[in-house]
Structure formats: structure tokens, C-alpha cells
Chain A
Amino acid sequence: MSEPRELRPGSLECSGSHECTGRSWPFGVLAGCRCVIVAKRLSFLPSRREWLSVACRLLVGASLCASSSCLRQRGPRVPDAQVIGGPGRRPGRFQTPRALALDPRGQLYVADMTDRIQVFDFEGRLLRWWRLPDFNVDGPTGLDVDAEGNVVVTDTHLYRILVCSPEGTVRASIGGVMGSGPGQFTSLRHVAVRPHGKGYVTTESGGNDRVQVFDRDGVPVAWWGSHGTRLGQFRRPEAVEVTATEEIIVADSCNHRIQVFSPDGELLRWWGSPGRALGQLLYPYDLFLASDGLLYVCEFGNHRIQRFTLAGDPVDTWGGPGRDPGRMAGPWSVVVTEGRTVFVADGSNHRVLRFEV
């Protein structure tokens, strides 16, 4: 009661249960003070200083809100995307599409967990589809097309690589024996075609995490790597890509990094650490070296696509978790056309997304 106040005649007297303190007006009200004050000087209204402090707080709050919304905005951008397919087993639909490849004619090959390989044209129209000869629980995780248009596919759970015609006729089979010896596989993750028809490069996981290089006849010529976190070791190398100079880029998924090797297995450079920021990675599941010289990385854990230069400098990201077109849920694979159209296998959304970058 710092200042005296007048009570108008006839007004209710203060019940006395609570002593009003002039400046704590909201608390007085909330504490149930029943006095009706008609004062000449409204001492229970906040002073100018208090107005100022409230205003400052509001300002700080508002700016915090704004900055937090900015932070939200700062996630990867969500560009427009065309949706191809949807969940289902019908032709043209997918059950967790996990591997994509582009052939020289620009046709898109999609492998999903029903063990089917479906072929689409550039506009997303289904052209044809076929099944792998033997089915074992789920489908292939790696797919590539060689210069002649042959489809090279990892028959993951049968421990072999199949080379098929564009119509699905098996032309060759590499491996087929489970094991850790040369030419044997444990859990095949990916296959990439070496330039100039020299052969293939594969990655595998399951405790025997390594890279194997094969010649065109399927004879293993080099292999390296083991399960672990040290450099040169891998934990689930989910993807591999070969540059024109035969550098072998490996997506070391569970170590959240990219490792680049010479053709004989010498580690040239590596980058990546787990995280959500630009340049960081969370479960990189696929790589694609585009014609513009940029490396497109599909991040299963961050639900986004990130681009790097071959030196490992990050360029940008897009996508982000969600079901809207342009967002992704557990993407498994990415391919890029000459005209920089990007196709992403949006695994848990059971669809393929087409971005124009």
C-alpha cells in the first residue's frame, strides 16, 4: 500500500482477505481481491517503467518466436516434386522402393521389396516390369545399368549379382555363395558398374563389411575393408559409386561418412559426421555422381538429399521428413538425369519423387 487511494462512496469495501499492493495489480486480481477501486490516481495500473519492461519482454519474446520459426524454416528446403506411384503391389505401385537406376535412354528402373523391377519413362509412366527369378523375403537393395543397357542387380539374400537384359532375362550371375572369401558375399548392399565396361564394384554388410572389385567376367580383382569405425573400415556400406577416374566412393552408412578410395583400395579422402547440419550426414544410403560433377547423397536418417562436390564440400540440401510431395520418409535411393532431373526412392512413403533441380 504505497500510495493512498480513495474509495468511492457506495463502493464495496475491500474484503480485507488480501492486501492490495499498488503495483501488483494482476496478482491482486488473481488472488481474489474483491475491492473495487475507483481512484483518482490509478496507482494499480503499471507505471511507465513497468510498461516499458513488459514491452521489452514482449519484444524479446516475439523475436524469439520469430527466430524459432526461422530456425524451423532453416531446415532443408522443400521443392515441388512430382509423385510417381504409391503404396501397393499393383504394377506402378511400390512396397518400399529401395533401389533406382537410369539407363542410357533415360528410362527409370525401380526395385522394391516385392522383388519386382519396374521400368518407367521420364514422365513416370510404367513401361514394363518383371520379377527376379527367385524370391527371398524382400527385394534387391542395389541396382545399376551398364553402358549396353544391361541391368545389374544385387540379389541380396541369394548372395549374388544378376546381370539382366532390359526386359529381365538373366544373362549372367556373379557369386551365389555365402561367405567372406573373395567372390563370396554375406549381405550384398549395392553394386556399381565400373566405367568403360571394366566390371563391377560391390559393397556388403552383415559383419563382413567390405568393398569388392570385379572384372567384367565376374572375377574378383580387389577387396578391402572390415566391420568397424576406423578409417578404411565400414559399418553397412549401403552404396558405392565409381568416378570416371575410377575413384571408388563408398557411403559408409552407419558411420555416417563418405569414404573415397583408389581402385586398389587406398583411402584417398573422407568426410562426414553424424548430424543434421549442412555437410553432416545421418545414414547416407545412396550416392549418385551426376553429370554436373556433383555427388548426390540420399540420407535415410535425415530424410533429405544433400549435394557435395567430389572434394567433399557440401553444396545444398532439400527434402526433409514428411508425406507431402517434396518431403521424404526414409529415402533409399537417388538418381539424376543428364538434364538434372532427380528421382528419389521415397521408401517409407512407398513412392518415387521427381525433382527438377
Chain B
Amino acid sequence: MLAELLREGVILLVLLLAAAAAIALLRRRLTGPAVPWLSASLVLLTLAAVSGTVWHYHGETLRAFVARLSVDRPWWLLALGVLPVLGYWSHRSLAPLGPGRRVVALLLRGLVVSLLVLALAGLNWLIPSDRLAVLFVIDVSRSIPREQLRRAQRWVDSQLAAKPAEDLAGVVYFAGVPRLEIPPVEYAELRDPEGDVADEATDIAAALRLAQAAFPDGAARRIVLVTDGNETTGDALIAAQASASDQIPIDVFPIRYRYRSEVMVDRVLVAPQAHVGEALRVRVVLRATEPVSGTLRLYARGGGRQFLVGEKPVRLVRVAGTTGDIVHAEDFIFDVTEPQFYEFLAQFEPDDPAADRIAANNTLTSFSYVRGQAKVLLVAREPKEANLLQQVLAAEQFEVRLIRPPELPARHSELYAYDLVVLNDVPLTDVQLDAGGNVISEYAITDAQLTAIERAVHDLGTGLVCIGGPHSFGAGGYNDTPLERALPVTMDVPGLKVVPNGALVCIFHASEMPRGNFWQKVIAKEAIRVLGPRDEIGVIAWRGITSWIHPLQPAGNKRVVLARVDTMVPGDMPDFDPGLRLALRALRQSKAMLKHIIVISDGDPTPPTPQVIQGLRQNKITVTAVAVATHGGTGRGTMRDLARLTGGRFYDVVNPRTLPRIFQKEARVVARSLIYERPTPWQPTVRVLTDPLTGLAPEQLPGITGYVTTTAKESELVEVPIVSRVPLPDQPAPILAHWRYGVGKSVAFTSDAGARWTKLWLNWPGVRQFWGQIFRWATRELRSDNFRITAHHEDGRLRIVADVLDEQKTPVNFANVVARVISPSLKSAEVKLRQVAPGRYEGSLEATEEGSYFIGAVALVPGKGPVQTVSGLTVPYSQEYAFLESNEVILQSVASITGGLLVEPAEAQSARYSAFRHDLPPQIRARPLWPWLLFLAACLFLADVANRKIAFSLEPIRRWRAEYRERRRRELARRDERLERLRRRKQELTAQWEQLKQPPPASVPELEPAESIRPAASTPTTTTAPDIRSPHAETPAGQTQQEELSESYTQRLLAAKRKVWESRGSLRPPSEHPDQQGESKQ
């Protein structure tokens, strides 16, 4: 108690002292060198005292307040140490400001610095919340039995239905790749995964990572994992540990199974390379858990045909006394008759279907490659367009396969069989319409097909010749495609001075197909990608009103428009009219040469008015209508009419995957300006005769009448032997360009092959030589007799072994051997092979995907050129089908590591378990305060500047106050004067009155002489007046004068009175009479 009193006393004393010193300082009573130190210590003392007091009395509140604060980077707080230095330095430099402003400036500066330091330290305000967010992570990979998956989904849905209203729930579906199906929201309902799921693999770890990242701030977090625990990639336990350190418990709902009887084709063994006439042995290995019998068939596929090699009844029996799987091998002999790429497919069919739970692992493929003539894949829209090329290729002893673009190998194992791919004026997408506007055929070359070509050139050494035409290169929509990467030219033409541009407006209507908004964004982006920087792009959608998402403007900064498209959420547009009107108005003002509108909709909005259609037609604006997920006739009719009336195209899209290509094609209508052609031929310029042109006479080269504008890539490998100096002599456009791309070679010829622009060439004797040399040059060179590679798959890895021999068949050492591997998903990887024995090199890489792997290897032998070879192998069916039981270890570990529950089926069925139980510590959300601190610091800094620049002074206020006081004083004085006068007058009158009432004193007769001067009979009043006034002798002169005036006034009154009496004929007034009488008697 005493101590407390003492403390308070001390604090009070310090405060008083500080106050006194502050006042003294401010009044400049204190001077001397110690003053700054004194004042600084006073300030500190005061601060300490005040804070001590506050802490003592409001400690609890303050502690609670401080507990709500957190700092991200506490080391920054050390920067507060600059405060005293700043104070000392500022104190000196701010001396001219005067004491008051100096103190303010010091305080402000100190505050600004403190706020900045706190902002840098990352001060946060913590907000606790007892909300709970639960993410259900559901495994939908192939290994999960479907009926069990459905049961699990029903269970999850029941959990979601029982969710407390304020809690959040989300769903992640995963197999090989996780997908956030429902982000954490209040209204969550389970639905099947939308779109395709890559269910050939299981990556639990990736799914857990996605879930961890998807949780919102400020809610307690829990993951409920529904899985069998079998993973093909990733490590679930590592992800579980990360989850545990993030304090996210994982409850596991196990999907348990155990297959008792299962049989599978374990592998198909065949030599990867063979020769014609060889009897190829194909060995098929079967594996089963129980004895089983059935039929084993082997099919061969090659050259577009599939045929049965053999069929054998097989019986797998357990050898007495053994346990575990039963393994059985069966051989087939295949007579190789023609050079071909062969794929072998082994299929086992059990006699009793019940003996086998998983059918998917009953087939398996492998392949073998039989070399013959060099093979060419010639791709052309119409066979007649490729006549010349076919003749040339036949003359050059190539084995030609002519296909139409949609037949481009989707399975790249087929592409692998060709040594050269020739694309003759092939557009990326094409639609053939009949007279009535109906689609006869349409196709879109997929990215996968193009990637296959690009990878084949780069990694397998396949040659590529791309021949131009009105539908090729940039005009064919190959901007930013994998094919562009493989070519020696790019589709962009940034250097040209005059590039005619186009304008494109996309109008989007909310789509009711699955993931509609996603696809709309993909489409918009594809369309934008195709446009050149000078082309204009605008995007319109319904957002409560039809409005521009991105107003029509040059696509130069594509990032802006892409970002806008990303945030677009098109709504249910009631009417096409306003959108088309907006587009029409903008396009009318645009100076673009080609104006085009793309509308994507289900056709529900009401059709546009005839005026708008008329406006579009008058301004030559075409509208392409893309009908998506229409409801049938009406919507489709509306869309078709829209396209028909404006001269655009109509698409009725069923598969959303074709949409982006359609849009690219349509956007390309705008990009069509890349073609240069004129009626009169001109001769292209031959700059240099490179390898493919050896022996040609440059001056004999006939004229051309058109080409597609491209730009040669800036690479030392690119050669541009033929260019066109028309139309821009100083900017020659490539006509023929070639380079080495990876292992392979590729050639770009931007004019065509005789169809339209090079008709003169058909009569040129050198045309066959020209093309023949180009094809020969580009074709893959394989000298694989002395360089062989073999590959096999074990433990999820691909092991590659290469043998390098020289001409004398002796091993070559110290060669540099690199293998490029293309995975089934067309991902490319490079493996450097290490020498392990004389002439033998080895390497390996991870290979978990199911399907065919292709390996292209290059050996650089010291002192010789590079040698190439190719090989490949098939990784059997998905690992998913090899799992015969659930992985209990993973299931239990994930739950136990993270402190979650393993939900046993019985518990799950009863209502005892709830994913939304609130047994987690409340989550704290940190709101960063730095923006506010920074803002406050900025304000205070301004105040500091103001304080230093503006000498705020009380002077005007003082002056105003002085003036006011002066005015007031004067007024008061005036008022006093008036009062004084009145008072005095009152006194006078009172005195007069008194005198009038009293008899005159005895001394009156002495005043006779005064009376004598009066003109008329004198009155006693007038005679006595000076006597009455005698006590006020010090009265100022003015007053006397006034009194005289007032006296004369009385006299005048009396005189007037007397006159009246005289005029009435009486001598004296009656009132005066007795007095007068009395006076006379006396």
C-alpha cells in the first residue's frame, strides 16, 4: 500500500517536474548547453512515468491489446534504435524553428520513423475466429472400386448436409492430378467431377498440397481424405507431415478392398528392332493370384491394319508347395514380311469372368520397328493439291503415305515410323460447308498432334517440310503452336512497316455446358493469342447489363486483356441486340480493314433487331455464331440466322474442346492479312546456295505470285537461301528457310507447291530436283547398325542401354551419348548416358506413365560426326490396375501423423462421426496493418513538413484579441460616460428638488447683488443654485457649462410661465403668492 502510494507520489512528482521544466523551456527561462539533454531526459522521464501509470492501471487491457498484435519480421524493430540519433540530430538542425515547433517537429519525426519501422516489421492485427473449414479430398483413381467410391460420395454428401451453416466446406477430387472441384464455401453440395479426370495415376501428396493451399484465412482447418492409400507418384507421408506442421489434421475415410482372384498380362517381350524376313518371337508373361484358365490372343497392328497373330488356350496352375503369384509365359512367332512399325497387343480372356476382378490389366502392348525404305507422311487438304509432291517423292524412292489433316497421327507411335513429315498448305482448323451452310466436315488439329510432330523432329530426328499456301503458317493459325517452335520462321511480322489490321469483338453469353465459363475463357484467350499486336480486340458480356469487359482497342498489350478475360463472369444475356449494337458502334469507328464479331451463346437471347443486322451488313461486319449447348431448334435457329444474315459462319458445338480452335480460326479471319499476293509473277531472290539447293541455277528459278509473310528466326542455325524482295525491297521476306531443330531438320517454304502461287514452276525442268533435294536433305538419317539402344522398364524407371560400334564392329569408347525420351503424355526428357563398359553406355529416368515411350539417341563419336538411332518401349497398363489391396499403412499413418481420425466404416455409418466437429483451436487471422501505418506516416510526414515550413503563430489571434479588447473598452467607456451623465443629472435634479422643498437658508440675503442683475423678478431657486453646487467644485469645465445650459433652461421655463401670468392680468402666480408674501414679511 505504502509502496503504491510512494510510486504514485514519485510519478506525480516527475510529471509536475516535467511540466514545470517544459513550461520553463518554452518560456526560454532556461538557457545553456545542457538544455537539450535536460529536455530530452525530461521527455523520456515523462514518457516513462506516463506509460508506467497507464500500464499499472490498464495493464490487463493493454496486455490484451498487445496480444492482438503480431510482428512478422521482429528484427526490423531494432531499427527503432535510430530514434535517439534522429532526435539528437534533429534537435540541433531544427534550432531556428523555435522551441515549440521544434518539439512538435521532433515528435512528428519520431512518430513517422516509428510507424515506418513498424510497417517494415510487418505489424499485424490478429482476429480470432471459431469458423471451421473442411476440405474433402476424394480419390477417384482407377484403383478405387466404383461402387465403393459411390458409397464414399454418399457419405461425404451426408456430411455436407449436416454442416453447420457458418462453417465452410470444399471438395478436391484427385487421381494423378488434383482438382479443386468446390472451393471452401458455405453452400457446398457434392457432385461428380466435371470434365475428364486423369485417373491413371494417384498422387495423394499433390492432392493434400492443393487442399492445404485452398483453405481460406481465418478458419480452423481440417482435411477429410477419402482414398485407398495406393499412390503411384508423390509421397503422401511427406505431405501429411507438412499438413501436421501447418496444424491441419487429416481424417481418413478408408476405401478398403482386397482382390482374392486376379489375373493380368504382366509383360510382352519383343525385340525393338527387326528385319524383313525375320521370325520375330513375342513372349507374353501372365501373372495370377489363383489358378485360372482362359484364352491368350496376340494381335499385331501396323500400317493402319490390325490382325491376329495367334490364339492359345492357357492354364495357369500352382506348382505344389508354392505360395504367392503364379507366373506363366507363352511364346508367339511372327513372320516379318514388310518394313513397318508393329505394335503387339496381348489379351487374356479368363474362362470364368468371376476369376478376374480387374479387366483393364488383361491387355498389354509392346512394339517393334522393322526398317525399310525411308517413309514420308504427306499431309494435304486435297489429294490433288499434292500431285506434284507425290510424283517427286516417288521418284526419290520414298515410300509415301498421303493423309488428310485430321488423320495426323494422334498416337505418336505411328509418327515414329516416318522419316519425314510434309505439310502442304494445311490449316490448323477447317470447316467445309455445303451451299445451305451445313457443315460437311470440320476438324481441328490438336495441340497434341502438333506436339507429337515437334517432339519427333526435335528428339527423334524426323524431318519436317512445311509448304505454304493460303492456309499455312500465320494465315493458317500456327502462331504460338508447337509447330512454330519446330520451324525456322516465326509467324509474327513485327518488322513490316505497313500491316493491315483487323478488329475482333467477342460477345459471350453464360454457357450452360459443364465448366462453361472456363471454356469461354480458354476460347477468348485462344482468340486473343492469334491476333497481332496491331489487331484490335474487344470483349462484351452481360454483367447485369450488356457492357464491355474489354473495350475495343489494339491487342498490343495482351496481358491487360487476358487479365480482364480471366476475371470475366458472363451472365445470362436476355438480348443479343445491345451487345451487337455496342460492337457495331465500336467497329464502325475502328479503322481496321477486317471487322469481325464472334458470338458464343446457347441461342436463348432474343434475336437482334433488323436495324442492327442492317448496320452490320452496311459496315461489312461479319458475325460468326457459335452455338454451344443449345436447347434445340430455336436457339440454334437464332444463331444460324445471325451468321447467315451477316455473312459469317455458324458452328454448333457439341465438344467444347473444339471451341478454342474454332475461335482461333475465326480470329484468323482477322489475321488473314499475312498473305501477300499479286497477279503478275516476280522472281524471288536466291541469296546463297545452301545444302538443299546444291546444283541449282539461281537465275532459272521461275517467278511466284504470292507467299505468306513470316520472319526468319534469329538463330545462327537458320539459313534463308531464297527470299522475296517484293513488296518491301529492304525487308526481304523468307521464301525458303531451313535449320536443324534438335536432332532433326526442318524446312519452311512460304510459297506453295504449284497450286496457286507457283504455277510457273510446274513447267520448270528443275522443279523435281528442287523438291527432291529438299526432301532428301530433311529426311532423318539413321545409321543404326553400329549404334543400337535397348530400353526396359523396372521399378518405375526406364533403363536405357546403348552400344556404339565403329565400322569394324569394335566398341567405341568415350563417345558422348545423349538419349531424348518422349513420354506418353508427350513430355520430353533428356538423359545423358554414362559409359559402363567398352562401347556400352547406360542411363535411366523415372517413367510412371502408362503407354509408349520413344527414345531418340545421338552418339558423338570423337573424330566423327553424330550418329543417331531410335527405339522405344511400352510401359504396361496403369499401375492403378496392379494394386490388389488397399494400402493400410498409408491410411493409418496419414491420420496418425496429423492427429486426425481413421473413420472406421461402422463409425461413419452411425452419426457419431462429424467432419465438422469443433474440437480444433480457434484460428487466428492476421490482418496486416502496414498500409494503414504507411498512410498514417505519410500524413504525419506532411504535417511535419507543414510544421517546419509554416510558422503557425498566435500573433493574429493575439492581435484580434487585443483589437477586440480595445473596441470593447471604448464601447464600455462610452457607455460609462453616458451613465455618468445620467447619474449626474439625476443628482442635480434631486438636489434642485430638495432645495425647492426646503426654505432658503439665512445666508440668502447676502446674495442680493446676484439677484440685482436679473432682468425680471428673481426666484429663490435661481439665487440658491450656485450654493448647492458648491461641494462639486472639482467638476470639469464642460460640466459647468452644461449646468449653465440647464440653468438657463429652467430660467427660460420660469420666464415663460411668468409671461403667461402677466398676460392673464394677475401680478403673480397663485402658487408663488404666499411664499412671496412670506418673503416680503420677512
Q: Which residues on A are within 8 Å of B, measured CB to CB?
A: 8, 10-12, 25, 28-29, 33, 36-40, 42, 44-45, 86-90, 93, 96, 113, 136-138, 156-157, 178, 186-187, 205-207, 209, 227-229, 235-236, 238, 253-254, 282-283, 285, 300-301, 303, 321, 329-330, 347-348, 350
Question: B605 to chain A: which residues have CB within 8 Å?
Answer: 236
Question: B98 to chain A: which residues have CB within 8 Å?
Answer: 38
**What is the bound-complex CA distance between A228 and B610, given in angstroms?**
8
Decide: B631 and A136 in contact? CB cutoff 8 A.
Answer: yes
Find the B residue at minimum CB distance from A186: B634
Decide: A187 and B607 in contact? CB cutoff 8 A.
Answer: no
Find the A residue at minimum CB distance from B606: A236
Decide: B945 and A236 in contact? CB cutoff 8 A.
Answer: no
Q: Which of A29, A42, A330 contacts B572 (CB 8 A)?
A: A330
Q: Knowing A42-B956, A235-B609 are in contact, say whether A138-B574 is a contact too (CB < 8 A).
A: no
Decide: A254 and B577 in contact? CB cutoff 8 A.
Answer: yes
Question: A235 to chain B: which residues have CB within 8 Å?
Answer: 575, 577, 606, 609
Decide: B949 and A178 in contact? CB cutoff 8 A.
Answer: no
Find the A residue at minimum CB distance from B956: A42
**What is the bound-complex CA distance between A33 and B574, given in angstroms?**
61
**What is the bound-complex CA distance between A330 and B543, given in angstroms?**
10
Q: Can you report 23 residue pairs joining A to B where beta carbons are below 8 Å apart?
A: A10-B95, A33-B949, A36-B96, A36-B97, A86-B186, A86-B187, A89-B191, A113-B512, A136-B631, A136-B632, A137-B630, A178-B633, A187-B635, A206-B634, A206-B635, A227-B606, A227-B607, A235-B577, A254-B574, A285-B574, A301-B545, A348-B571, A350-B187
For the complex of A and B, the 9 pairs showing the least CB-CB separation, nearest first, are: A206-B634, A236-B606, A157-B631, A29-B949, A254-B575, A187-B634, A88-B189, A11-B96, A186-B634
Question: A137 to chain B: which residues have CB within 8 Å?
Answer: 512, 602, 629-631
Q: Which of A38, A42, A229 contacts B609 (CB 8 A)?
A: A229
Q: Knowing A90-B161, A254-B575 are in contact, say whether A44-B634 is a contact too (CB < 8 A).
A: no
**Which residues of chain B (599-639) have a CB below 8 Å from chain A?**
602-607, 609-610, 629-635, 637-638
Decide: B187 and A42 in contact? CB cutoff 8 A.
Answer: no
Find the B residue at minimum CB distance from A10: B96
**What is the bound-complex CA distance between A8 and B97, given in angstroms?**
10
Decide: B574 and A25 in contact? CB cutoff 8 A.
Answer: no
Question: B572 to chain A: which residues have CB within 8 Å?
Answer: 96, 330, 347-348
Interface check B951, CB cutoff 8 A: yes
**What is the bound-complex CA distance between A228 and B98, given in angstroms?**
81
**What is the bound-complex CA distance between A11 and B641, given in angstroms?**
84
Find the B residue at minimum CB distance from A300: B574
**What is the bound-complex CA distance between A206 and B609, given in angstroms?**
12
Decide: A88 and B606 in contact? CB cutoff 8 A.
Answer: no
**What is the bound-complex CA distance between A84 and B575, given in angstroms?**
29
Chain B nearest CB, measured from A207 CB (Å): 5
Decide: A156 and B574 in contact? CB cutoff 8 A.
Answer: no
Find the B residue at minimum CB distance from A189: B606
Decide: B951 and A36 in contact? CB cutoff 8 A.
Answer: yes
Decide: B633 and A29 in contact? CB cutoff 8 A.
Answer: no
Q: Knowing A33-B949, A253-B574, A321-B544 are in contact, say whether A138-B631 is a contact too (CB < 8 A).
A: yes
Interface of A is mostly: loop
Decide: B956 and A178 in contact? CB cutoff 8 A.
Answer: no
Q: Which of B95, B189, B637, B945 contacts A207 (CB 8 A)?
A: B637
Q: Knowing A137-B512, A138-B512, A209-B606 are in contact, say whether A283-B956 is a contact too (CB < 8 A).
A: no
Decide: A303 and B544 in contact? CB cutoff 8 A.
Answer: yes
Decide: B951 and A38 in contact? CB cutoff 8 A.
Answer: yes
Find the A residue at minimum CB distance from B94: A36
Question: B610 to chain A: which residues have CB within 8 Å?
Answer: 228
Question: A37 to chain B: which residues have CB within 8 Å?
Answer: 951
**What is the bound-complex CA distance between A39 and B98, given in angstroms?**
13
Question: A157 to chain B: which residues have CB within 8 Å?
Answer: 631-632
Decide: A236 and B949 in contact? CB cutoff 8 A.
Answer: no
Question: B545 to chain A: which residues have CB within 8 Å?
Answer: 282, 301
Question: A178 to chain B: which residues have CB within 8 Å?
Answer: 632-634
Question: In the complex, which of the residues B545, B577, B634 has the most CB atoms of chain A within 10 Å of its own CB atom?
Answer: B634
Interface check B644, CB cutoff 8 A: no
**What is the bound-complex CA distance between A113 and B604, given in angstroms?**
14
Interface check B1012, CB cutoff 8 A: no
Chain B nearest CB, measured from A236 CB (Å): 4
Find the A residue at minimum CB distance from B631: A157
Interface check B950, CB cutoff 8 A: yes
Decide: B187 and A88 in contact? CB cutoff 8 A.
Answer: yes
**Which residues of chain B (479-516) have a CB below 8 Å from chain A?**
512
**What is the bound-complex CA distance between A71 and B353, given in angstroms?**
76
Chain B nearest CB, measured from A155 CB (Å): 11
Decide: A207 and B641 in contact? CB cutoff 8 A.
Answer: yes
Chain A nearest CB, measured from B645 CB (Å): 12
Chain A nearest CB, measured from B402 CB (Å): 42
Decide: B606 and A205 in contact? CB cutoff 8 A.
Answer: yes
Question: A205 to chain B: which residues have CB within 8 Å?
Answer: 606
Decide: B631 and A330 in contact? CB cutoff 8 A.
Answer: no
Question: A283 to chain B: which residues have CB within 8 Å?
Answer: 574-575
For the complex with contacts A236-B575, A254-B577, 14 further pairs of A-B residues with Cβ separation under 8 Å are A28-B949, A36-B96, A39-B951, A42-B956, A89-B189, A136-B632, A178-B632, A206-B634, A207-B637, A207-B641, A254-B574, A254-B606, A301-B545, A329-B544
**What is the bound-complex CA distance between A189 and B946, given in angstroms?**
67
**What is the bound-complex CA distance between A10 and B96, given in angstroms?**
7
**What is the bound-complex CA distance between A124 and B946, given in angstroms?**
62
Decide: B955 and A42 in contact? CB cutoff 8 A.
Answer: yes
Decide: A42 and B953 in contact? CB cutoff 8 A.
Answer: yes
Decide: B544 and A330 in contact? CB cutoff 8 A.
Answer: yes
Chain B nearest CB, measured from A118 CB (Å): 15
Question: A209 to chain B: which residues have CB within 8 Å?
Answer: 606
